């Protein structure tokens, strides 16, 4: 396997991770709902956007620096919240948070993380963001928000598109769980992935530590998966945004927006920013890609709040295309997970380096020196049907 500095693309990082991470956890990241059509579209639709090349322009003194929800970022990229990150590599959330902190980009910890809020806070020095699922047990959610405040989390990312769980066939077939069940197949996988296994033996973090020990009847790990499946709140409504915001007292970013009317509702109910996202294609299969929907969301609310994009980012070129279509920043999920699986903290750093270099070179070849100057004028063509077409997003 090539050393990390020899890996030049996110696709190569994905291949490296596949060789090191057990199948059920690699598949957990590399999967979508049902037929995975939306998962594939998230990435494929970026390729249908062509850039406008410019020459004989001054390319000196380029800057990718920006802000996301009022915080400085070395480039318009944040680490997205992903569940079970600590199953890609031992203590994975801590490793990813450290890499993000050193690189100067925001890190978001998932409610369904393996490492807890406190674990990450104890192993980092700068504030990070916390992603919140609203569950039926509102007393637990109140305590979770209070824990995020105590850990000095600087923003909450409120995920709205997981009221019920989408059907993900790979997870069902693999019997994916955390901690993993020691079936003969999994024992065989560990024997084939000894570095992963040794790392896991060296940590006490194997389950959902934001939940275990903090919720009554959730200490029995055999019942935890049933508890979480029953806890996502199908009655979630827009009024919950205001409730969460009041309880937290800081910026609340609403994630899971894929419709202009929903974007307007999120802003009306106090969202400080929104993330255009289809949950990585893991919820409604057949929904449009995030990048296809982005322009109409920007048209609807882009003047009243920051609009970010999540889903399908595999290169710095993808970041630039999202920025050209109006995003103020982007989130990467699978890309950093593959870096984590391939090389731990150093692998996440390498992923960020790859994206940063691709973004910088692409911006220069498009004739821009500052990421804030990127816009529609940098797009040559978009080979995607319009929204009102029979083949469009809501045809």
Q: State the sign of the Cα–Cα–Cα–Cα dihedral 302, 335, 341, 7.
A: negative
Residue 167 is given by DSSP the state P
**215-246 residues labelled b (16+ CB within 10 A) or e (exposed):** beebeeeeebeebbeebbbeebeeebbebbbe
- Which residue in the block uniquely carries the two structure tokens 């100057």? 373
Contacts of 326 (CB under 8 A, 6+ apart): 294, 295, 298, 299, 302, 307
Tokens for 281? 């294609």
Q: Is the peptide bond before 34 cis (omega within 30 degrees of 0)?
A: no
Do the Cβ atoms of 334 and 282 come closer than 8 Å? no
- Find the radius of gyration of the CA atoms of the chain: 20
Select which of 214, 279, 372, 377 is catalytic.
279
Provide the 10 A C-beta neighbour count for residue 101.
17
Q: Is 135 helix (H, G, I), strand (E, B) or coil?
A: strand
Measured CA distances, 187 to 6, 22, 117, 179, 191 (Å)? 31, 10, 30, 13, 6
Residue 330 is given by DSSP the state E
Upper half-sphere CA count for residue 223 (Cβ side, 13 Å): 7
Q: What angle do CA 304, 374, 315 make, to 5 degrees?
A: 105
Indicate if 206 belongs to the active site.
no
Catalytically active residues are: 279
């Amino acid at each position: 396997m090539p050393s990390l500095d020899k890996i030049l693309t996110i696709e190569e990082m994905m291949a490296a991770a596949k060789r090191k991470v057990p199948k059920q956890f690699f598949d957990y990241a590399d999967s979508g709902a049902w037929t995975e059509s939306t998962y594939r579209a998230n990435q494929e639709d970026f390729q249908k956007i062509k850039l406008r090349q410019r020459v004989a322009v001054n390319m000196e003194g380029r800057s990718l620096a920006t802000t996301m929800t009022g915080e400085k970022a070395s480039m318009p990229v944040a680490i997205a919240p992903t569940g079970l990150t600590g199953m890609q590599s031992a203590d994975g959330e801590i490793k990813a948070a450290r890499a993000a902190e050193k690189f100067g980009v925001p890190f978001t910890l998932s409610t369904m993380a393996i490492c807890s809020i406190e674990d990450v806070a104890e192993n980092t020095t700068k504030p990070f963001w916390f992603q919140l699922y609203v569950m039926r047990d509102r007393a637990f959610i109140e305590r979770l928000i209070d824990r995020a405040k105590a850990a000095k989390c600087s923003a909450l990312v409120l995920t709205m598109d997981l009221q019920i769980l989408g059907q993900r066939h790979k997870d069902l077939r693999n019997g994916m769980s955390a901690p993993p069940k020691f079936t003969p197949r999994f024992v065989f996988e560990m024997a084939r992935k000894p570095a992963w296994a040794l790392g896991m033996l060296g940590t006490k973090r194997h389950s959902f530590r934001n939940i275990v020990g903090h919720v009554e009847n959730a200490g029995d790990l055999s019942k935890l998966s049933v508890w979480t499946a029953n806890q996502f709140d199908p009655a979630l409504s827009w009024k919950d945004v205001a409730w969460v915001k009041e309880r937290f007292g800081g910026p609340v970013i609403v994630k899971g927006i894929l419709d202009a009317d929903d974007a307007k509702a999120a802003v009306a109910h106090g969202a400080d920013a929104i993330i255009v996202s289809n949950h990585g294609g893991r919820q409604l299969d057949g929904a449009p890609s995030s990048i296809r929907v982005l322009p109409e969301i920007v048209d609807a609310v882009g003047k009243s709040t920051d609009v970010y994009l999540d889903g399908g980012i595999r290169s710095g070129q993808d970041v630039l295309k999202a920025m050209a279509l109006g995003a103020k920043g982007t989130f990467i999920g699978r890309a950093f997970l593959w870096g984590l699986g391939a090389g731990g903290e150093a692998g996440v750093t390498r992923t960020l380096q790859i994206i940063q270099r691709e973004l910088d070179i692409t911006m220069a070849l498009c004739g821009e020196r500052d990421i804030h100057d990127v816009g529609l004028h940098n797009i040559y063509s978009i080979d995607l049907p319009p929204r009102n077409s029979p083949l469009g997003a809501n045809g």
